[in-house]
């Protein structure tokens, strides 16, 4: 990884003028990234390494791709962040072990360079700490609402405070990965997954197989797994290897009445049928085998 990434992380709080959202400026070797209160990257300009982040740079140049620290605007670290298993493997920041990726922070304890900063939940970036408030009027400048219980400005208190396609999770508006509570099917139509009604993220795929050989199991988009009962007399498997002629009756598999023949035609073996294995042939030790 290029040494131009960062020698050290220095966060500075930008002034909140003209009603704009507070911003955090993250200096790198020869550039800065401006991050607004939502955790989204806004601008990147090249400045001299000794320039005060709060001052206007003398010479503004187009940023070099290698000088910019990318900040994800999604609710989780993406594939562009370095993989890790421990903090030691992260050139900057800390290791988010569940995702196996390096992030800027996991808690306020990781945001110690600049005063009055916190780790914005679900965005993994250090941002200005929420302003204190007594009512939502005091939060209008940052387009937030007041959490009366916590007495601080937050993104949301409920779904109505978030834009379309977002959900309110831990007082933060995050983009939905899927419609809340919706159901999706796998490409083969044999499994379904459900969108978490709180986080708006897909859960793991679950098989539609109901373990009944007398039903056809498929996933229907929008409704999920469905089970169609086979007609009476349809062949099935009752799980007993020693029966044959199993057939469906009223949606259940009835044991076949025809026994399975295990005779291998050899006089020197003992032939038997085990329900879980089927035919087995054990030599009896006599001559001829």
Domain residue extents for the chain: 1-129, 130-175, 183-229, 233-249+261-289
DSSP state, residue 10 = -
Q: What angle do CA 94, 65, 75 make, to 5 degrees?
A: 40
Q: Range with the lowest mean pLDDT among 14-23, 120-129, 244-253, 264-273?
A: 14-23
- Contact indicator for 80, 99 with CB cutoff of 8 Å: no
Q: Work out the average pLDDT over 228-246.
A: 93
Q: Work out the average pLDDT over 170-192.
A: 89
Give the pTM. Answer: 0.43
What integer pLDDT is reported at residue 178 of this predicted model? 87
Where does the pLDDT of residue 288 fall: very low under 50, low under 70, confident under 90, or very high at 90 and above?
Answer: low
Q: Work out the average pLDDT over 184-202.
A: 90
Q: Range with the lowest mean pLDDT among 3-7, 119-123, 217-221?
A: 3-7
Mean pLDDT in the chain? 74
- Going from the C-alpha of 285 to that of each of 267, 270, 272, the distances in angstroms are 11, 10, 16
pLDDT of 207 higher than 80: yes
Pick from 140, 103, 109: which is nearest to 124 by CA? 103
Q: Return the structure tokens found at 184.
A: 């999706």
What integer pLDDT is reported at residue 289 of this predicted model? 65
Q: What is the pLDDT of residues 109-154, one digit of tens each?
A: 888 877 778 888 777 888 888 889 999 999 998 899 999 998 989 9
- Going from the C-alpha of 86 to that of each of 79, 92, 98, 187, the distances in angstroms are 17, 12, 11, 35
What integer pLDDT is reported at residue 81 of this predicted model? 65
- Going from the C-alpha of 144 to that of each of 134, 171, 200, 226, 289, the distances in angstroms are 13, 10, 21, 44, 86
Q: What is the pLDDT of residues 47-106, one digit of tens each?
A: 333 334 344 444 434 333 333 333 333 334 444 567 899 999 998 889 988 888 898 899
Query: Could you give the CA distance from residue 85 to residue 41 in angstroms, rounded to a whole number?
Result: 26
What integer pLDDT is reported at residue 40 of this predicted model? 40
Q: Range with the lowest mean pLDDT among 192-196, 259-263, 279-283?
A: 259-263
Greatest mean pLDDT among 138-142, 229-233, 281-285: 229-233
Q: Range with the lowest mean pLDDT among 31-45, 213-227, 244-258?
A: 31-45
Query: Could you give the CA distance from residue 265 to residue 281 in angstroms, rounded to a whole number?
Result: 10
What integer pLDDT is reported at residue 219 of this predicted model? 96
pLDDT of 228 higher than 80: yes
What integer pLDDT is reported at residue 200 of this predicted model? 81
What integer pLDDT is reported at residue 67 of this predicted model? 33
- Size of the chain, expressed as the number of residues it contains: 289
pLDDT of 203 higher than 50: yes
What integer pLDDT is reported at residue 205 of this predicted model? 94
Query: Could you give the CA distance from residue 215 to residue 236 in angstroms, rounded to a whole number?
Result: 10
Pick from 236, 242, 238: which is nearest to 278 by CA? 242
What integer pLDDT is reported at residue 99 of this predicted model? 81
């Amino acid at each position: 990884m290029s040494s131009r990434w960062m020698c050290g992380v220095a966060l500075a709080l930008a002034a909140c003028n003209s009603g704009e959202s507070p911003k955090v400026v993250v200096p790198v070797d020869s550039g800065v990234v401006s991050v607004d209160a939502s955790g989204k990257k806004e601008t990147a300009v090249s400045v001299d390494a000794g320039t005060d982040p709060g001052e206007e740079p003398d010479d503004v140049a187009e940023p070099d791709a290698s000088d910019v620290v990318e900040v994800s605007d999604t609710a989780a670290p993406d594939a562009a962040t370095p993989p890790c298993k421990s903090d030691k493997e992260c050139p900057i920041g800390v290791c988010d072990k569940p995702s196996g990726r390096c992030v800027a922070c996991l808690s306020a304890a990781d945001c110690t360079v600049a005063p009055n900063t916190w780790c914005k939940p679900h965005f993994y970036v250090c941002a200005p700490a929420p302003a204190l408030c007594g009512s939502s009027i005091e939060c209008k400048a940052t387009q937030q609402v007041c959490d009366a219980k916590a007495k601080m400005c937050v993104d949301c208190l409920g779904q109505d405070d978030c834009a379309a396609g977002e959900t309110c999770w831990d007082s933060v508006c995050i983009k939905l990965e899927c419609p809340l509570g919706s159901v999706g099917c796998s490409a083969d139509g044999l499994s379904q997954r459900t969108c978490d009604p709180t986080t708006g993220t897909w859960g793991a795929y679950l098989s539609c197989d109901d373990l009944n050989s007398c039903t056809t199991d498929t996933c229907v988009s929008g409704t999920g797994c469905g089970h169609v009962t086979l007609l009476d007399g349809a062949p099935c498997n009752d799980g007993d290897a020693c029966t044959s002629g199993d057939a469906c009756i009223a949606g259940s598999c009835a044991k076949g009445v025809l026994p399975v023949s295990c005779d291998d035609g050899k006089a020197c073996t003992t032939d038997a049928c085990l329900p879980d294995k089927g035919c087995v042939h054990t030599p009896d030790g006599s001559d001829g085998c």
